[in-house]
A and B are shown apart, each in its own frame.
Chain A
Amino acid sequence: MSFQHKHILGTEQLSREDIELILDTAESFKDINTREIKKVPTLRGKTIINLFFEASTRTRTSFEIAGKRLSADTINISASSSSVVKGETLEDTARNIEAMHPDIIVMRHGASGAPHYLAERIDCSVVNAGDGAHEHPSQALLDLLTIRQHKTTLEGLTVAIVGDITHSRVARSNLYAMRTLGMNVRLVGPGTMVPKGIEKLGCEVYTDLNEALEGVDVVMMLRIQLERQGKTLLPSLREYASLYGLNPSNLKLAKEDAIVMHPGPMNRGVEISSYVADGPQNVILEQVENGVAIRMALLYLVAGGSEGEV
């Protein structure tokens, strides 16, 4: 079976077969990342532009390393150093970049749908590295790879995703992919942070963290994004920490072999206590490690994918 997508815009468009192919491909790439010579010539001669309109260290570095290990030429453009600050529109920026003939644009943007807008207007492949509060597909895929390595099968597992669901693209991408794979998803957060009607996407909504953690296989904590929502949704960080923070005592409610995940960067002492973040159940750095392999898989599959489909 071959991969039919020209762009990776979200996990919503990926079938079970697509997701499994991506995870299997990433498994093969994991070996390369531990070799002495961490490079294969697969994408030699391809140009990848990382177009980041929002701050990011982890994701951008991960995509950059992924491209370089596949021998592609990767170039980073960040909003603060680009002509965006001089008033250029997104479409003009994209057209100018396209005139330099890149093969893949990896894009992060604060507006939901920005990569889709770009994908319709330019010829090269577009990989979404996070668009507003919409999707962050590579993060969800690396989460799934990490879970699969600990639990072997994904179908039937129960996952609690805790935090500001409304503003979380990580939560949304995971929800789509996990539902496609037949996993049970519990979304947990204060009423102000869970969108109304999201249970229609096939998940359960909880406002009580203890109830939600009961018997789960995976606990995924989301970062409280102080820069995104300001103060209006939260009375105080201390209150949030006491009601929705993961600590050793409420973690006991989950299954004994439950794993703890966090997409980073962590606010220690807010959504996750240091005891848990550094505890034996945390797989947070494995997530980062798997991120490189997942992004290599996505770049590889998109570069060789057939034309015309999204």
Chain B
Amino acid sequence: MGKSETTILDTSGVNRALTRISHEILERNRGTQDLVLVGIRSGGDHLADELCRRIAEIEGEAPLVGAVDITLYRDDLGSRGSLPMGKTQIPFDVDDKRIVLVDDVLYTGRTIRAAMDALIDLGRPRSIQLAVLVDRGHRELPIRPDYIGRNVPTSREEEISVVFDDAMLPIEVRLVKAAT
């Protein structure tokens, strides 16, 4: 029994999605004033860097970028054991910032809940928005993304994998299912 993989977004598809999201973020926030991109480790942090680069290209001004590690805010410590931790790097004051949380795949929403708690422990942002490359459904919490690269209906048995190249640029999104 092997696995079958379908490409959901190829390199140009990923590129178009990221460019569109960059424009949408700028439009919604009317520029980069107080705008902050925070990527969720690991995966979302690389996407946040890439979105920042594109926004800087479009607008001529780069937003601040940070990364958040949610290990300490998980709701499944004990059932999964202690996971190695990445670093939370928010080298700025989050008070009154418009934060766009960035993740690669949105699934149950539990990761986003944890990331929001982590951010709110650092201060009081003016708002938190959510950008994801893929929304695969199956939410377990009332969380809804503001910017979506692609909606992909999935079953729980399937997996979404976001492929990065050596420079950690996203190049492909695949749907992986166990073949019957």
| Residues of A in contact with B (beta carbons under 8 Å apart) | 1-3, 21, 24-25, 27-28, 31, 35-37, 39-43, 70, 300-301, 303-306
| CB of B83 within 8 Å of the partner chain | yes
| Separation of A306 and B79 alpha carbons in the complex (Å) | 9
Q: CB distance A21 to B81 under 8 Å?
A: no
Contacts of B87 in A (CB 8 A): 27-28, 31
Kindly specify which of B9-17, B31-39, B70-78, B100-108 makes contact with the partner chain. B70-78
| Residues of B in contact with A (beta carbons under 8 Å apart) | 69, 72-74, 77-78, 80-88, 117-118, 121-123
Complex partner residue of A41 from B72, B84, B122, CB under 8 angstroms: B72
Q: CB distance B82 to A301 under 8 Å?
A: yes
Q: CB distance A3 to B73 under 8 Å?
A: no
- Closest 8 pairs (CB-CB, A-B): A304-B82, A40-B72, A42-B72, A28-B85, A2-B81, A301-B82, A304-B81, A304-B77
| Separation of A182 and B105 alpha carbons in the complex (Å) | 42
Q: In the complex, given contacts A21-B84, A41-B73, A303-B78, what are 5 additional A-B residue pairs having Cβ atoms less than 8 angstroms apart?
A: A24-B85, A25-B84, A28-B86, A39-B121, A300-B82
Which B-chain residue is minimally distant from A71 (CB atoms)? B72
Q: CB distance A2 to B83 under 8 Å?
A: yes
Q: Chain B interface mostly helix, strand, loop or mixed?
A: loop
Q: Chain A interface mostly helix, strand, loop or mixed?
A: loop
Contacts of A27 in B (CB 8 A): 87
Q: CB distance A31 to B78 under 8 Å?
A: no
| Separation of A37 and B117 alpha carbons in the complex (Å) | 12
Contacts of B121 in A (CB 8 A): 35, 37, 39-40
Complex partner residue of A3 from B74, B82, B122, CB under 8 angstroms: B82
| Separation of A21 and B83 alpha carbons in the complex (Å) | 10
